[in-house]
Amino acid sequence: MNKAKKILLFDSIIDGHHADYLTHLIRYWVQNRLAGELIVVTQQSFQACFDELTTGQPGGRNVRFVPLPPADIDAVHGALMLTRSFKEWNLVLRYIGQHQPAHVLLMYFDLFQLATWLGRSAPCAVSGIYFRPDFHYKRNPGFKAQLNGFRKKVTLKGALRKSSLANVFCLDHSAVEGLRQLAPAAKVWPLADPVESYSITPAEVQQLRHDLQIDANRRVFLLFGYLDDRKGIEPLLDALKELPKPQQQAVCLVLVGPIQPDYKQKIEQKITDVGGEVQIVRVYQEIKGRQIQLYFELADYALALYQRHVGMASVVVRAAVSRKPVLASDYGYLGHLVQTEHLGVVADTTSPAAIRAMLERVLTTEIPYSKTNLQKLADHNSDVYFAETIFKQLLP
């Protein structure tokens, strides 16, 4: 096998979009029968998905799965953040030494900045996917926040100027120019936040509405993904509690995604406090593949009420695929994108009063949004476009 075409993908995390991103890259490699060898290093739990993508496929013969031992995963995931960067980087170096790739792609570059700058050098080219750059966000005036921002910027600059760093693929397109200014020699590319698209029939949507027992004439507001305190569920429920009764009766909130038992208990109490006028449907489980789009097709509005979220959110892309307007946080790149591209409306999602005002606006007037721009966003964030962007730079 020609070493010049051997690529190693590394990710010690496999939940949510981490598994999706690996899937998109493997599927593209297999379907296009790319020359060389693709080595996928991640958790053992990804094995079944890997086998489904490669077994019996001609293009799957040159794709190899290498499971990370649970002890190694526990060691890096249990470390403090500064220590973790070096521990996980040393783990990457071990697999580089074993497999001798020409190029390694760090699927979550955010973790590795300090170690790639100050740690041991890699004997091959390194690229990474950068999820949440925040060096270009306005800082709080406090000294601690300013110092933390300065530290992050220095670390990022050091990592970007490392000679072995070949490419940085950035999910926050508003940060690309700033990254290039920090390190003019670095190759920084805007990257799609990929979503696979499916063909969904109206009958399927109607069946799901029936299965969830959603009341007729209610508008469906979908909050999708891992349900935790980052998603703005608590201020949303506080806002729904304060809506006038006629507007409460026009709302069906659908919460979809896995949730930890302690947080579930907290949310259930808040749901009780909202009262019975608002219909709240709970689907406390992970939804995958085609079924995800079905929920977005069901929705009238997609909620992206993240609390001070940095970077892009795939919820917005999934909403675009289904041509549904987004109710989003006004913070950071996410808020900027929704506003400037007319994808929906934004508010300060840390404030129940601001969320309530946004909901009242939606329920009493038709909010303007651009279906054309939703279509454009969906087209620019396909799984194929994502993989093409990466392999175009990684393959010689």
SS3 sequence, the chain? Answer: CCHHHEEEEECCCCCCHHHHHHHHHHHHHHHCCCCCEEEEEEEHHHHHHHHHHHCCCHHHCCEEEEEECHHHHHHHHCCCHHHHHHHHHHHHHHHHHHHCCCEEEECCHHHHHHHHHHCCCCCCEEEEEECCCCCCCCCCCCHHHHHHHHHHHHHHHHHHCCCCEEEEEECCHHHHHHHHHHCCCCCEEECCCCECCCCCCHHHHHHHHHHCCCCCCCEEEEEECCECHHHCHHHHHHHHHHCCHHHHCCEEEEEECCECHHHHHHHHHHHHHHCCCCEEEEECCCCCCHHHHHHHHHCCEEEECCCCCCCCCHHHHHHHHCCCCEEEECCHHHHHHHHHCCCEEEECCCCHHHHHHHHHHHHHCCCCCCHHHHHHHHHHCEHHHHHHHHHHHHCC
Amino acid, res. 149: G
The reported pLDDT for the residue numbered 334 is: 85
Task: Find out whether 281 and 299 touch, Cβ atoms under 8 Å.
Answer: no
Q: CA 161 to CA 169: how far, in whole Å? A: 15
- pLDDT average per 10 residues of sequence, the chain (396 residues): 75 89 96 94 96 94 96 93 92 97 96 93 95 68 69 87 92 87 90 87 97 95 94 96 96 96 96 96 92 96 87 84 95 88 95 97 92 92 91 89
Architecture of the domain defined by 202-380: 3-Layer(aba) Sandwich (3.40)
Task: Find out whether 253 and 232 touch, Cβ atoms under 8 Å.
Answer: no
**CA-to-CA dists, residue 101 to 49, 116, 231, angstroms:** 23, 17, 38
Q: Do domains 3-194+381-394 and 202-380 have the same CATH topology?
A: yes
Number of other CB atoms surrounding residue 370 within 10 Å: 14
Number of other CB atoms surrounding residue 198 within 10 Å: 14
Q: CA 333 to CA 313: how far, in whole Å? A: 9
The reported pLDDT for the residue numbered 190 is: 92
Give the number of C-alpha atoms closer than 13 A to the C-alpha of residue 143, restricted to the C-beta side.
Answer: 0
Task: Find out whether 91 and 117 touch, Cβ atoms under 8 Å.
Answer: no
Number of other CB atoms surrounding residue 287 within 10 Å: 16
Task: Find out whether 84 and 13 touch, Cβ atoms under 8 Å.
Answer: no
The reported pLDDT for the residue numbered 139 is: 53
Burial class (CB in 10 A: 0-12, 13-18, 19+), 185: exposed
- Long-range (24+ apart) CB contacts under 8 A made by 154-157 are 155/113, 155/114, 155/117, 156/113, 156/182, 157/182, 157/183
The reported pLDDT for the residue numbered 141 is: 62
Determine whether domain 3-194+381-394 maps to CATH 3.30.470.10.
Answer: no
| Backbone φ, ψ for residue 32 (5° rounding) | -95, 0
Task: Find out whether 347 and 362 touch, Cβ atoms under 8 Å.
Answer: no
Q: Where are the domains of the chain?
A: 3-194+381-394, 202-380
